Amino acid sequence: MRAALASAYRDEWGVVFGTLVRLTGDWELAEDCAQDAFARALPAWERDGVPRRPGAWLVTAARRRAVDVLRRRTTERDRIAEAAALEEAYEPGPPGDERLRLIFTCCHPALPLEARVALTLRAVGGLTTREIARAFLVGEDTVSQRILRAKRKIAAAGIPYRVPPPGARAQRLGGVLAVLYLIFTEGYAPSDGSTTRDRLAEEAVRLARLVVAEVPDEPEARGLLALLLFQHSRRAARLDEDGGLVTLEHQDRSRWDREMIAEGAELVRETPAGVLEGGFAAGVAGPGPLRAGGAALARGPLEARGPYALQAAIAARHALAPDAAATDWAAIVALYDRLLALRTNPVVALNRAVALGRRDGPQAQLDAVDALGTPKELAGHHALPAVRADALRRLGRTREAAAMYEAARAAAPNAAIAQEYALRLTEPAHPTKGTPHDG
């Protein structure tokens, strides 16, 4: 029974909470009533059995609780009238409508980014403030205040609880996807220096699936989900027994999650961005290499290719190669070119330099890094000296490489990456070696 309730909480919390927000306009009341409904569910379900539609049962219980609470506010006549209206006029809508309203509201651009993240995890994902605090390594009071300020901002600014109109939806969806990607990144490569936080990464994947389920025709939503799936599929192979980082080229690919890779491949294949022309089938089953060449992947109208879909296509090339040597670097360089054509981004340019070095050799990589200079976005970041060091080492310029690896080690965000840079100095140059940010 507890397992059934836990499953219902994971699947239905956002719908229950969102419905109450829509009906009452009161975020605090909505949360209290949603929590009360789940608390009442355990004894009721143990007595009567799990209802055929747990979500509908929970929404009804929460709505009835809201009616009771509003009626008790006897000094507020408008609340009494509101309770009567709530009891009489309620018509259930599709669960997806509630989820979309909720996630677009939580990710409204008027809210600070950290508030959007915390509110999304709490209201849509159902994580407790303690779980969010532990995931981000901050105090519970800090998370509680972020959520409280976000709710107050929504009320004070009159932020509407709705899905944006069609003309604004694409731009607002981009904000939603950015929040989900940030949540995933904090789990996959935490900014505070810890190694991984699987809970955050898993929640980001779950929320991305939710968004795709509600807007299945949005290529960027599908692209983001595919990207997260490809990256998360490697989670079991990214660390060694001692917690050290295992870079992409050294990972045991038999430990990659093939079901996630297959799901991601299907998503990319079905988006306008995924012009892979059947090449996925062999890759997922084998995992053999893609049959479609780089030119096939790179063609098609640029307007149909958004940044998440392009990144997913790049990740697919890595995920579906049987080993590092079989990676289709020509296709990856072409995709990075498409990505840079959308928007100049030094991080993307640095990743392109790595791919260029794998396709054309270390001198091409070094030339690309030198051409990049030291953009402010990469100032103090470990990846820039690491990529330069990798090229220098492969060129046999070991003294210069050592200086660059030392700079990368000093800037590394955690001990695992710092140790990886130290180990690189003891290894012979190899044309397929990558850098620790590949993991």
Among residues 285, 251, 305, 304, the alpha carbon closest in space to that of 420 is found at 251
Q: Mean pLDDT, to the nearest integer, of 37-46?
A: 93
Tens-digit pLDDT profile for residues 93-103: 555 678 888 99
Query: Quick one: pLDDT at residue 268?
Result: 87
Q: Please tell me the chain's helix, strand, coil percentages from 3-state DSSP, rounded to the nearest 5.
A: 70, 0, 30
Tens-digit pLDDT profile for residues 57-72: 999 999 999 988 888 7
- Cis preceding linkage at 287, omega within 30: yes
Both tokens of 353, joined, read 């330099």
- How far, in Å, CA of 86 to CA of 63, rounded? 8
**Angle in degrees, CA 270, 319, 417, rounded to 5:** 135
Find all residues with CB under 8 Å of 219, minimum gap 6, and list them: 271, 272, 273, 304, 306, 309
Q: How many other C-beta atoms are found inside a 10 Å radius of the C-beta of residue 356? A: 23
Query: Quick one: pLDDT at residue 82?
Result: 56
Tens-digit pLDDT profile for residues 189-198: 655 545 457 7
Q: Which residue reads 């990469």 in tokens?
A: 378
* More confident of the two residues 319 and 292: 319
Question: Helix, strand or coil for residue 245?
Answer: strand
Residue 11 reports pLDDT greater than 90: no
Residue 433 reports pLDDT greater than 50: no
Query: Quick one: pLDDT at residue 272?
Result: 52
Residue 261 dihedral angles phi and psi, to the nearest 5° = -65, -40
Residue type, 252: D
Query: Quick one: pLDDT at residue 2?
Result: 81
Question: Helix, strand or coil for residue 73?
Answer: coil
Residue 282 reports pLDDT greater than 60: no
Among residues 431, 395, 391, the alpha carbon closest in space to that of 408 is found at 391
Structural Rg of the chain based on CA atoms: 24
Lowest mean pLDDT among 69-83, 137-151, 351-365, 383-397: 69-83
Query: Which letter does DSSP use for residue 164 in this model?
Result: P
Q: Would you call 262 exposed, middle or buried from its count of C-beta atoms within 10 A (0-12, 13-18, 19+)?
A: buried
Both tokens of 84, joined, read 């009567």
* More confident of the two residues 237 and 245: 237
**What is the share, in percent, of the chain residues with pLDDT greater than 90?**
51
Residue 240 reports pLDDT greater than 90: no
Provide the mean pLDDT of the chain.
83
Find all residues with CB under 8 Å of 416, minimum gap 6, and list them: 195, 239, 243, 244, 245
- How far, in Å, CA of 169 to CA of 75, rounded? 41
- How far, in Å, CA of 353 to CA of 357, rounded? 6
Q: Mean pLDDT, to the nearest integer, of 339-357?
A: 94
Phi-psi region of 245 (alpha: psi -120 to 50; beta: other; left: phi over 0): beta
Residue type, 115: A
Query: Quick one: pLDDT at residue 387?
Result: 96
On the CB side of 346, how many CA atoms lie within 13 Å of its CA?
A: 15
Encode 225-241: b = buried (16+ Cβ within 10 Å), e = exposed.
Answer: bbbbbbbbbbbebbbee
Query: Quick one: pLDDT at residue 276?
Result: 46
Query: Quick one: pLDDT at residue 302?
Result: 33
Q: Mean pLDDT, to the nearest integer, of 215-224?
A: 92
Query: Quick one: pLDDT at residue 290?
Result: 31
Q: Mean pLDDT, to the nearest integer, of 218-236?
A: 95
Q: Mean pLDDT, to the nearest integer, of 164-191?
A: 84
- Its pTM stands at 0.78
Contact of 348 with 336, CB cutoff 8 Å: yes
Angle between helices 54-72 and 27-48 (to 10 degrees): 130
Task: Please state which CATH number belongs to domain 344-439.
Answer: 1.25.40
Find all residues with CB under 8 Å of 134, minimum gap 6, and list them: none
- How far, in Å, CA of 334 to CA of 354, rounded? 13
Residue 349 reports pLDDT greater than 80: yes
Question: Helix, strand or coil for residue 239?
Answer: strand
Domain spans in the chain, listed from the N-terminal domain onward: 2-93, 216-337, 344-439
Residue 138 reports pLDDT greater than 60: yes
Query: Quick one: pLDDT at residue 81?
Result: 54
Query: Quick one: pLDDT at residue 133?
Result: 87
How many helices and strands, by DSSP H and E, does the chain display?
21, 0
Lowest mean pLDDT among 177-191, 342-356, 359-373: 177-191
Query: Quick one: pLDDT at residue 293?
Result: 34
* More confident of the two residues 152 and 274: 152
Contact of 123 with 106, CB cutoff 8 Å: yes
- The CA distances from residue 146 to 149, 151, 154, 392, in Å, are 5, 9, 12, 46
pLDDT band at 31 (very low <50, low <70, confident <90, very high): very high
Tens-digit pLDDT profile for residues 72-85: 775 555 555 555 55
Query: Quick one: pLDDT at residue 287?
Result: 31
Contact of 13 with 41, CB cutoff 8 Å: no
Tens-digit pLDDT profile for residues 381-408: 899 999 999 999 999 999 999 999 999 9
Both tokens of 369, joined, read 């890094």
- The CA distances from residue 5 to 18, 128, 210, 277, in Å, are 18, 16, 19, 43
pLDDT band at 291 (very low <50, low <70, confident <90, very high): very low
DSSP letters spanning 367-417: HHHHHH---GGGTT-THHHHHHHHHHHHTT-HHHHHHHHHHHHHH-SSHHH
**What is the share, in percent, of the chain residues with pLDDT greater than 70?**
82
Residue 157 reports pLDDT greater than 50: yes
- How far, in Å, CA of 261 to CA of 280, rounded? 10
